[in-house]
Copies of this chain bind each other. A is one copy, B any other.
Amino acid sequence: MNGPDIELPENVALAWGLRNRPSRGPKRSLSLDQVVSTGIQIAQADGLAAVSMSRVASELGVATMSLYRYVPTKHDLLDLMVDTAYGPPPRPRGVDEGWRPALARWGEGNLTALRRQPWMRHVPISGPPINPNQVRWLEYGLAALRGTGLRATEQISTIMLVSGYARSWATLTADIAEAAARTGQTPAEVGLRYWQHLAVVTAPGPYPAIHELLAEGGEYDEDVDLEWRFGLGRVLDGVAVMIEARAAEASRDAGPSGDGGPSGDGGVPAGA
């Protein structure tokens, strides 16, 4: 029927299993999935730095160069590792769940995935989402925002907002957790030490806001996810403001010249 007129890049075709396997030569002794999941195992066990082509190969009992029959480049392997390690997004709860809990669960899912495989944060993002699970995540993220009146580009901005925050948060907490594991401390101790270092370096200079923050001090061992949820709640509140404004505008039906909501770009200056 519809032969794809557009030629997909090698990466993408590979990730989606769209490479017509040849029937001529000898059978392959491995599968792409084996290679990818071996890479994931190594990354999970010994960190991303331990994932070398020779390590993966020896783990599979083959020679290093054999892997290049399955993967064009090491970076493509890493991309595939990330895609399968991310896994599928959390399924939408119901049709009429509402955008807010849906997007919240989507964000939480992002964080959970990154927490489960902390090495993923060290794989640089190689472009817009195009691999299977990435696309599924994109689908569910957009699905959460369907029917809200948000435009296409706005939906994408919103999704990047949430996923970017999840990545930031996962990175921070994982960095602290790893530093703690390295030095045999608790994460709370590492956090405390950070604040101490910050206090030392900011002592001579004028850093009123930081000093006020340090003075407030407080509990470092409390549930860190509380702070995460705060930020997520702010995003959702902000999106809600816009959606409600759009809805009000739409129900007014004959909007005169309504461009954007009440606080469409409010407070954001035009220039740099």
Contacts and interface: CB of A to CB of B under 8 A. Distances in A.
Interface of A: 2, 4, 6, 8-9, 12, 16, 18, 100-101, 104-105, 108-109, 112, 121-122, 124-128, 130, 132, 135, 138-140, 142-143, 145-146, 151-158, 160-161, 163-165, 167-169, 171-172, 175-176, 179, 194, 196-198, 200-203, 207-210, 212-213, 216, 218, 226-242, 263-269, 272
A122 B108 CA distance: 25
A153 B172 CA distance: 14
A176 B125 CA distance: 12
B238 A200 contact: no
Closest 6 CB pairs of A and B: A238-B238, A164-B168, A234-B238, A142-B209, A237-B238, A100-B267
5 contacts: A6-B200, A100-B266, A108-B272, A234-B242, A236-B267
Given A160-B169, A227-B157, A241-B238, A268 B201 contact: no
A130 B218 contact: no
A40 to B, nearest CB: 19
Contacts of A267: 100-101, 104, 233, 236
A232 B200 contact: no
A154 B207 contact: no
A184 to B, nearest CB: 16
A161 B179 CA distance: 23
A157 B234 CA distance: 10
B153 A230 contact: yes
Contacts of A156: 213, 227
